[in-house]
Amino acid sequence: MSRTNFLGEFEELILTMVLILDHDAYGNTIVKAIKEHQNREVNLSSVHITMYRLEEKGFLESYMGGATKERGGRKKRYFKITNTGKALVQEMKDARTSLWKLAPQLNFSS
């Protein structure tokens, strides 16, 4: 894993959330999803910054769309995970799983 491919904990969380939310990933939904799934309050600005950073690294891509009556008729910047991003999440998950396997197994039966 090269240095640029290294992800922080928060970055990984956001990347995963974008993956989960599929076609409805933008600032507010991500904040809400994190609150819902992890019960964790995050600030909107941190989410934005992180998403832009991830976009720059090539794990996310964004497109403008979905103007609605709410939010003053402004467009949303939707984020979508790229293939590299997907692969990275997968890779990280696998890496964690394989590490987890090396840990001494708890034996409840004994």
Partner 1 sequence: MRTAPPKLATRFLQWFCKHSLLESIQGDLEEQFEEDLTSYGQRKAKRRFVWNVIRFFRPGIVRSFEGTKKLNNYGMYRHYFKIGWRNIFRNKLTSSINILGLSTGVTVCLITLIFYKYEVGFDMRHKQANQTYRVVQHTQMQDQELYWGTTAYPLAAAIKSDFPDVDKVTQAAGPFKRLFTLERANGEPIQFEEEKVVFADESYPEVFDFKWISGDPKSAMDPLNAVILTESVAEKCFGKNYSKTAVIGHLILLNGNDPLMVSGIIEDIPANSNLPFGMLVSYNFFKKHNPYPSENWSGNYGGTTFVVLKDQKREQELESRINDWKKKYLNKEDDQRISYFLQPLKEIHTETLYGSIPGGYQISKSILNTSLFVALFILLIAIVNFINLVTAKASTRAKEVGIRKAIGSRKIGLLKQFMFENSMLVIISLALSIVLSHFLLNEVNEFLSILGMQLYFNVLDASLIILVSFVTIIISVIYPSIVLSSFNPIKALTNRKLTSNGAGVSLRKSLTLFQFTLVQVFVIAAIIIGLQLQFFNNESLGFSSEKVVMVDIPSQNKIDLFKSTLTQNTSIKEVSVGSGPPMTVEDFALGTTYRLPHEESSTGRDAEMKIIDTEYLSFYDINLLAGRNFRENKNQFDEFIVNETFAKSMNWSPEEALNQKIAINEGEATIVGVVEDFHNHSLQNDITPSILMNWNGWRIKSFVKVNNAEALIHLEEVWKELFPKSIYGFSFLDDTMKREYLLEALIFNGFKIFSVLVIFLGCLGLFGLMAFITLQKTKEIGIRKVMGASVTQIVQYFSKEFVILISIAFVIAAPIVLYFMNQWLQTFTYHIDLSIWMFLAGGLIVSIIGSSISIIKSMMAAKANPVNSLKYE
- Please tell me whether residue 36 binds partner 1 under the rule CB under 8 A: no
Task: Indicate the residue among 44 and 87 with the shorter CB distance to partner 1.
Answer: 44
**Residue span 50-89 as binding mask against partner 1, x where in contact by CB under 8 A, dash where not:** --xx----------x-----xxx-xxxx------------
Nearest approach, Cβ of 21 to partner 1 (angstroms)?
14
62 forms bridges with which residues in the sheet?
A: 79
Sequence-separated (6 or more) residues with CB below 8 Å from residue 6? none
Q: Counting contacts by CB under 8 A, is residue 48 touching partner 1?
A: yes
Build a one-symbol-per-residue string for 5-24: x at contacts with partner 1 by CB under 8 A, - elsewhere.
Answer: --------------------
Q: What is the C-alpha to C-alpha distance for residues 61 and 77, in angstroms, rounded to an integer?
A: 10
